[in-house]
Structure 1
Amino acid sequence: MRERHSTRHRRRTREFEAFVAGAGGRLLHAATLLTAEPVDANPRARRLLTSALAETYARWHRLRGEDPYDRTRQELAARFARAAWRRHRPAVPGLPRPAAETGLLARLTPQERLILVLRLYEGVAEEQTAATVGLPVDRVRAICTRAVTAMRSTPPAPPAPAAPAPEVAT
């Protein structure tokens, strides 16, 4: 009995490791977009993905034909939404504020980022996105349109000032 359980556990672990090897990079990029952190410095995104993957691993034996990528993406979105709600509450005097978000989608609200990432980066249908975030389809469509417009209309960062020309000794 114990040997059979051990064999199942090893097989489950190998299957999960193969899943993470194949999908981990894309899921990390999605998490990085959600948290609006720079790609090379994304500790919140890594923590978010780690907790979503831990939940997927805990439920791995109960997936029974369910897509593990879809399940992990849903968990990632739910965890981001909960964390964003806590992070964007009014500041409490005396507590440190979170570090500034400087990533690609930093100019968007967390809700806009979540919908934009699900719809455009992940290719999730409007109806499924609406179900994931708990909003009507029309509202998801409006938020996505507003987010795309904001990303297109925001002017690029101003160019860095030119370095002064070296002086030539005469």
Structure 2
Amino acid sequence: MRDRQASRDARRAREFEAFVAGAGGRLQHAATLLTAEAPDANPRARRLLTLALAHTYACWDRLRGEDPYDCARQYLATRFSRGTWHQYGAFGRARPHPRSPLAALAPQERLILVLRLYEGVAEEQAAALLGLPAERVHTICDRATATLLHPARTAAPRAMGGARVAPS
């Protein structure tokens, strides 16, 4: 009985290690995009990834044919969503790193954009995962994409001694 349990645990550990070796990098990149941290300094993204992988490992035996990557991605997204809401409020912003490609976006915009464009999650699936109407997900994704493609222009600095005033 013990030998069978040990064998099962060893097989489970090998399967999970193979999963992490194959999917860990992509999940890490997704978490880094979500947190808008610098790729080389991303403690919040690493924490998100660790929690998602721990959850996936805990559910490993119950997956029964389900995609473990999908399980990890769902947990990553919901944990980020809840964490952002509780830590920063409904409309709050974490301070993204200026080198992050998604630094200009709000957390919800980043989440939807990463799910839709980076992860390739269908609009309806993203909406169901986040508890939003599909139309809202579509609108947020369009707005986030427009923000990235057409960033706000900064005002040009004023020239010193520009226009002269004519004497009266």
TM-score under structure 2 normalisation?
0.85
Partner secondary structure for residue 104 of structure 2: coil
Code of the residue aligned with 1:9 in structure 2: it is: D
The alignment status of 1:107 with 2:107, answered yes or no, reads: no
Q: Percent identity?
A: 65
Show structure 2 runs of 5+ residues with no match: 155-168
Show structure 1 runs of 5+ residues with no match: 91-97, 158-170
C-alpha distance in structure 1 between counterparts of 2:84 and 2:153, whole Å: 26
Runs (4 or more) in structure 1 with deviation over 4 Å come to none
The alpha-carbon deviation at position 33 of structure 1 amounts to 0.2
Mapping 1:73-152, distance limit 5 Å? 73-89=73-89, 100-102=95-97, 103-152=100-149
Partner of 1:67: 67
C-alpha distance in structure 2 between counterparts of 1:153 and 1:136, whole Å: 26
The answer to whether the 8 A contact 1:37-1:104 is kept is no
Partner of 2:51: 51
C-alpha distance in structure 1 between counterparts of 2:88 and 2:127, whole Å: 21
Code of the residue aligned with 1:25 in structure 2: it is: G
Mapping 1:4-15, distance limit 5 Å? 4-15=4-15
Larger radius of gyration between Structure 1 and Structure 2: 2
The alpha-carbon deviation at position 155 of structure 1 amounts to 5.4
C-alpha distance in structure 2 between counterparts of 1:48 and 1:3, whole Å: 35
Change in Cα spacing, 1:99 to 1:141, as seen in structure 2 (3 Å) is: closer
The answer to whether the 8 A contact 1:116-1:144 is kept is yes
C-alpha distance in structure 1 between counterparts of 2:21 and 2:14, whole Å: 10
The answer to whether the 8 A contact 2:35-2:96 is kept is yes
Partner secondary structure for residue 39 of structure 1: coil
RMSD: 1.7
Change in Cα spacing, 1:80 to 1:99, as seen in structure 2 (3 Å) is: closer
The alpha-carbon deviation at position 87 of structure 1 amounts to 2.2
C-alpha distance in structure 1 between counterparts of 2:9 and 2:59, whole Å: 13
C-alpha distance in structure 2 between counterparts of 1:67 and 1:99, whole Å: 31
Q: Which has the higher contact order (CA 8 A, sep 6+)?
A: 1
C-alpha distance in structure 1 between counterparts of 2:42 and 2:149, whole Å: 24
Partner of 2:42: 42
The alpha-carbon deviation at position 5 of structure 1 amounts to 0.4
